[in-house]
Structure 1
Amino acid sequence: MRRIQAGNALSAFGLGFTVPYLYVYVAQVRDLGATTAGAVLAVFAMAALVVLPFTGRAIDRRGPLPVLVGAALLAAVGALAMGLASGVPSAVLAAALLGAGTAVMQPALATMIVWCCSAEGRTRAFALQFFLQNLGLGIGGLIGGQLVDESRPGSFLLLFSIEAAMFVVLAGIAATVRMPRTAAITDSRPGESEVHGRGGLRALLGHRAMVQLCVLGFVLFFACYGQFESGLAAYGTEAAGIEPATLGMALAANTAVIVVAQFVVLRFVERRRRTRVIASVGLLWAVAWLFAGYAGLGHGSQAMATAAFITTYGLFGLGEAMLSPTVAPLVADLAPESMVGQYNSAFALVKQLALAVGPAVGGPMGAALHGPYIVTFVLFSLGISVLALRLGRGLTAAQDHPHLAAKSRVVAQHRPERQPVESAA
């Protein structure tokens, strides 16, 4: 588990070097124009949508290790190719390789975490993964910002080379991992269930709780991540008069809240029902959107608007810290023995769809329809709470409240039994 988490942190560190600067690199440094830059970003997202439907079955049939190693090497090739790209075809091809590789790594890493810990330990394992991802992205972005220079294309080649090196390191670390053969992961290994070979999309769509969780996940990602760098950013600059530099501060505040609050929040989260925690996140994000509404629609000073806008991103970060130990472990607990990879891939696909649809819907609304934009996403946030509570009705105690279920099993196992008193005769 330590090796998996270390590799996860290093890959996030590499991504942090380049993700914030990809648009600038294609449009301005390589002088390919805004249209090409938008196409490259679209290909980056579409590549994930193409490969994820096939990723889960590959993980369940071959295991997550070879899939992760292959994806990391593919992403490394894509990153290096992006640093060397000088024309439209090469930039688009590099974006496709990079997007496909990074997309496949997510469910592969999640499945490895499931294999390496018990059901009771998944909450903390996924919380640690999310913490390290954000820490790596934040540190990578900060260092990358100091190295990048728009007047020197070589500085961007350095960034992409560092990203490629991090992916190679991830592949190397993953190749040394030996999955433990313990009872904790027996039920998560492929080929040990009657469902094996009969699973696939039909079995997943027939699992009502998983379908409900996918719908809930789409709304979660659509109302949060899908708005960060599109609709909410457009709303902030157009309605609230936020400077571009302040957007960077708001994103930094989001990451800082996650890093600082993750393990404090974990103590609160792991002793409560997962669906109620998700429902409380919906209420918290509704408040965050009201702060955004005040920033753009209120009549206070610019300083108050800026503070309210940064608070919006901070509240989003607090909600994300509450979700990381609940949603991903719930996906794993819902999955049948032989379909852990397919369930993780399906949920990753839902996330990618939300990240693709979110900017397309939120961007124009945030830029032009300021009042309707805030009202819409306050309602979406409240919808998260409703969907979460409905999901909770169909979950078992072990799925919705694993801490209490584990405690009950331990008590039952160690309960002393009265021994009959045998007669001396």
Structure 2
Amino acid sequence: MRDFIAALPREGRWLLATVAIQLLGRGMTLPFTIIYLHEVRGFDLGVAGSLMGLIAIVGLIVTGPGGSLIDRYGARPVILGGLVCAIAGDVMLAFATTPVLAGAALCLLGIQAGVSWPAANALVATVVEGDLRQRYYGVNFALINLGIGVGGVIGGLFVDVARPETFTFAFLANAVTFTAPALVLLGPLRHVHGRAARPAADEPHAGASYASILRRPEVVWLVVIGVLLSTLGYGQIESGFPAYARQISEVSTRVVGFAFVANTAVIVLAQFWVMNRVSGRRRTRVLIATAVIWAVAWVVFGATGLMPGSIAAVVGVVAFQGLFFALGETLMQTAFPSLTNDMAPDHLRGRYNAINSASFQTGAIIGPVMAGFLLEHGRSTLFIAAMVVGCVGIAAGALRLERRITPAVNGLRTPLTQEPARQ
């Protein structure tokens, strides 16, 4: 860790310093927002669930325009705009007594969610280069999980439906944590705009639109892989996984909660080990490794349904989240953002990261719908089979992508990139 931090430029260290702080507040509220809306504010569960869906819907809508704004004005002002929306949304949500006010607050949070990922990745790509960039994305992912995990523990110990004011304080605390990155961007990093110079009009991709970018075969395969990764991964974490674990594997909610804790712990502890192992290797092969590990994970998880309520089911559920799935996540988050940003021309990083973000948000919408439909209709075996087949699709897509990108984009070191590392 010391070597990594020492190798980062000053701007990279400042950006990394705020990650865990920002996500600490998010972890305090994210698992409990629907409980707050339903049990504290008294909204019907269906209304509360629909309001929660606004975050993903609005996020998907604003991702495209956000990418264009990043390329035109730079990543820094877009991030700042998103942080202002997040602060306003959390303050509004803390005092929202009607569905309309809560919906408006969640829409503001959706705006921040939609622009923050592409803008942050694009900003990092302008200040961190080469193999160090890939390592940065891995460390960033570990810190995100650390912040959310610690925040979730704090929130679980603090918030209480019998004391509504605890939820108000939690949302206000979340708003305060968003000020940390804002102050860094307005202070030490006020000179970093995150905007690349536009090339001459006659150069390739000088004025590329989303339509022209999406006509590139390598981008199409990147989108396919992103949708599958999200559908089988994050799209199931808060839907298919807990539903199958409770209804089919018949484990307790405590076991489900412990599995999430184990997932966070493995990601935080294993990230550096994973980064060292994949550095200089083909990123597409890293994604294939992710697919293989996740396929094994889903098979193990599916087998817990054959022995419901048993110790073996408990072990299988925890192993799914805490070992197999977490290890696959560390591989994916080390390779996929770097692949996207090395593929993108400098002046189009906003759009490329927006496409990346939109593919993951699409999967996050498809995943819960698919899981809910299959499990509600008693198709648990088909659900597991669909997950395994999807993993095969990730591996196949990664192989197709590998044929269409250069070795440098795929993360292979050349003599020119190796030499500075030895100095």
If the length of structure 2 is used for normalisation, what is the TM-score?
0.92
Distance 2:150 2:251 in 1: 24
List alignment gaps of at least 5 residues for structure 2.
1-11
Paired positions, count: 406
Alignment check: 8 A CA contact 1:232 1:363 kept: no
1:35-114 → structure 2 map (5 Å cutoff): 35-114=46-125
Alignment check: 8 A CA contact 2:131 2:279 kept: no
1:100-179 → structure 2 map (5 Å cutoff): 100-178=111-189
Determine the structure 2 residue equivalent to 1:375.
385
Q: From 240, 248, 254, give the equivalent of 1:245.
A: 254
Determine the structure 1 residue equivalent to 2:410.
400
Amino acid at match of 1:189: A
Give identity over the alignment, percent.
32
- 1:174 Cα deviation (Å)? 1.6
Q: Secondary structure at the match of 1:286?
A: helix
Amino acid at match of 1:313: Q
Determine the structure 2 residue equivalent to 1:235.
244
C-alpha deviations, 1:224-272, integer Å up to 9, x for none? 1101111121111111101112111111111111011100011111131
Determine the structure 2 residue equivalent to 1:274.
283
Distance 1:145 1:411 in 2: 49
Distance 2:102 2:319 in 1: 37
Amino acid at match of 1:303: I
1:307-318 → structure 2 map (5 Å cutoff): 307-314=315-322, 315-318=324-327
- 1:180 Cα deviation (Å)? 7.5
Distance 2:142 2:421 in 1: 34
The Cα RMSD (Å) is: 2.0
Taking structure 1 as reference, are residues 268 and 333 closer, same or farther at Cα in structure 2, changes over 3 Å only? same
Alignment check: 8 A CA contact 1:114 1:122 kept: yes
Distance 2:102 2:141 in 1: 30
- 1:9 Cα deviation (Å)? 2.2
Alignment check: 8 A CA contact 2:251 2:308 kept: no
Taking structure 1 as reference, are residues 39 and 410 closer, same or farther at Cα in structure 2, changes over 3 Å only? closer
Q: Secondary structure at the match of 1:325?
A: helix
- 1:120 Cα deviation (Å)? 2.6
- 1:413 Cα deviation (Å)? 13
Q: From 380, 383, 387, give the equivalent of 2:397.
A: 387
Distance 1:94 1:27 in 2: 16
Query: Is 2:42 the partner of 1:31?
Result: yes
Q: From 300, 304, 309, give the equivalent of 2:312.
A: 304
Q: Secondary structure at the match of 2:360?
A: helix
Taking structure 1 as reference, are residues 413 and 50 closer, same or farther at Cα in structure 2, changes over 3 Å only? closer
Q: Secondary structure at the match of 2:86?
A: helix
Q: Say which one has the larger Rg.
A: 1
Distance 1:29 1:230 in 2: 23
Amino acid at match of 1:306: V
Determine the structure 2 residue equivalent to 1:10.
21
Determine the structure 1 residue equivalent to 2:3.
none
List alignment gaps of at least 5 residues for structure 1.
415-425
Query: Is 2:361 the partner of 1:348?
Result: no
Distance 2:213 2:250 in 1: 46
Distance 1:177 1:191 in 2: 25
C-alpha deviations, 1:79-102, integer Å up to 9, x for none? 111111011100111110111112
Determine the structure 2 residue equivalent to 1:366.
375
C-alpha deviations, 1:286-322, integer Å up to 9, x for none? 100011111112x376111010011111211100011
Alignment check: 8 A CA contact 2:339 2:411 kept: no
